[in-house]
């Protein structure tokens, strides 16, 4: 993809799932990657090892990697992460706001701290990472790209996951507002919105064939997505192939947002 080689990327939540796949894909495209993780240095090292191996296989053996621990719900951690990456790589070109969690409660029973926890990671964390990056880009008169990992629940309501739905709906507006505010400063802001994707966040159904079949029966294309399919879209939006795209959410969902109930003409 165009002009990714030599760019410096920070991916939050990169030790598993979609974040891991994005880190690997960006390394394959020649980006230096900062693998931000919250808990498991071993998982982050695993991401690093695969990324280095795959980058070498695609002729990008020179990519640099950095592991940086931190909790995106903690402002001090975010400032430290962005500072560390900027100083180590000499600048930050691409931010992937991927870290995310979900929590299941009937909406009338969500404990306040649980509600706050999801918003703090998924939405406030994404905003604070973007804020810290944009500050530095403006100070250095540098251009940059932000990609928020949203969800089909940016637009599809998700009962019993209210805080998650709100966080992703908010992420859609975060994407558009930042895109508009900084479009004339060379900063592009977009989102990818995965549908049902086989990753650890979905372990309740990914490894159970019966439950997985139920999930996949709701998807027009008849299957869950892969982390690599999400990563391909993120790499495209990060590259100069998407140089004129900003403020958009790209749904990568096998048709999940197409109102599948209308496949048959029940309304006629
Ligand atoms: P995942 O659980 O593998 O990844 C989430 C990552 O976020 C993990 O690496 C985790 O350590 C990290 N994380 C959680 N809390 C953190 C914190 N406080 N600070 C830093 N990192 C933290 O699941 P995934 O499916 O790869 O999820 C990645 C993103 O994709 C999430 O934002 C999720 O909402 C979004 N998404 C996933 C799906 C899906 O079906 N898998 C669908 C739509 C959107």
Asked if residue 60 has its Cβ within 6 Å of ligand 1, the reply is: no
Asked if residue 99 has its Cβ within 6 Å of ligand 1, the reply is: yes
Q: Where are the domains of the chain?
A: 8-258
Asked if residue 254 has its Cβ within 6 Å of ligand 1, the reply is: no
Strand 94-97 with 8-11, pairing: parallel
Q: What are phi and psi of 209, to 5 degrees?
A: -55, -40
Query: What element of type H or E holds 217?
Result: helix 209-217
Decide if 220 contacts 213 (C-beta within 8 A). Answer: no
The DSSP code sequence of 232-245 is HHHHHHHSGGGTT-
Cα-only R_g, the chain:
18
For a ligand 1 pocket test, name from 168, 201, 215, 231 the mutation site with the most ligand atoms within 8 angstroms of its C-beta: 201
Ligand 1 atom with least separation from CA of 195: 42
Ligand 1 atom with least separation from CA of 194: 43
Asked if residue 98 has its Cβ within 6 Å of ligand 1, the reply is: yes
Distance between CA atoms of 212 and 205, rounded to whole angstroms?
5
Task: Find the catalytic residue in 161, 164, 182, 251.
Answer: 164
Asked if residue 47 has its Cβ within 6 Å of ligand 1, the reply is: no
The residue whose CA has the least distance to atom 2 of ligand 1 is 201
Token match 């505010």: residue?
181
The residue whose CA has the least distance to atom 23 of ligand 1 is 201
pLDDT given for residue 260 in this prediction: 86
Cα 90–chain centre separation: 23
Whether residue 259 lies in the annotated active site = no
CA of 2 to the centre of ligand 1 (A): 27
Distance between CA atoms of 50 and 201, rounded to whole angstroms?
21
Asked if residue 148 has its Cβ within 6 Å of ligand 1, the reply is: no
pTM: 0.98
Decide if 185 contacts 137 (C-beta within 8 A). Answer: yes
> How many CB atoms are closer than 10 A to CB 251?
21
pLDDT given for residue 128 in this prediction: 98
Distance between CA atoms of 86 and 197, rounded to whole angstroms?
31
Asked if residue 194 has its Cβ within 6 Å of ligand 1, the reply is: yes
Divide the 268 residues of the chain into consecutive groups of 10 and give the mean pLDDT of each group: 96 98 98 98 98 96 97 98 98 98 98 98 98 97 98 98 98 98 98 96 93 95 97 98 98 96 80
Question: CATH number of 8-258: 3.20.80.10, 3.40.50.720, 1.20.120.350, 3.30.70.260?
Answer: 3.40.50.720
Ligand 1 atom with least separation from CA of 21: 26
Dig out the tokens for 19 from the structure: 């974040």
The residue whose CA has the least distance to atom 34 of ligand 1 is 100
């Amino acid at each position: 993809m165009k002009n990714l080689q030599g760019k410096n990327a920070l991916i939050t939540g990169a030790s598993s799932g979609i974040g891991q796949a994005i880190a690997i894909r960006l390394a394959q495209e020649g980006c230096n990657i900062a693998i931000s993780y919250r808990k498991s240095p071993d998982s982050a090292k695993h991401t690093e090892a695969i990324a280095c191996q795959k980058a070498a296989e695609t002729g990008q053996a020179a990519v640099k990697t950095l592991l940086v621990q931190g909790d995106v719900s903690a402002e001090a951690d975010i400032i430290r992460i962005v500072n560390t990456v900027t100083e180590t790589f000499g600048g930050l070109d691409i931010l992937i706001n991927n870290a995310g969690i979900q929590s299941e409660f009937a909406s009338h029973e969500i404990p306040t701290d649980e509600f706050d926890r999801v918003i703090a990671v998924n939405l406030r964390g994404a905003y604070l990472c973007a804020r810290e990056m944009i500050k530095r880009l403006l100070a250095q008169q540098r251009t940059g790209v932000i990609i928020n990992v949203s969800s089909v629940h940016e637009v599809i309501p998700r009962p019993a996951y209210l805080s998650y739905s709100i966080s992703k709906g908010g992420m859609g507006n975060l994407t558009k507002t930042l895109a508009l505010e900084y479009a004339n400063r060379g900063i592009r802001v977009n989102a990818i919105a995965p549908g049902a994707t086989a990753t650890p966040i979905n372990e309740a159904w990914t490894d159970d064939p019966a439950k997985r079949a139920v999930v996949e029966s709701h998807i027009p294309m008849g299957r869950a997505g892969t982390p690599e399919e999400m990563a391909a879209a993120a790499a495209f939006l990060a590259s100069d192939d998407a140089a004129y795209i900003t403020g958009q959410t790209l749904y990568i969902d096998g048709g999940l947002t197409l109102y599948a109930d209308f496949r048959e003409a029940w309304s006629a």
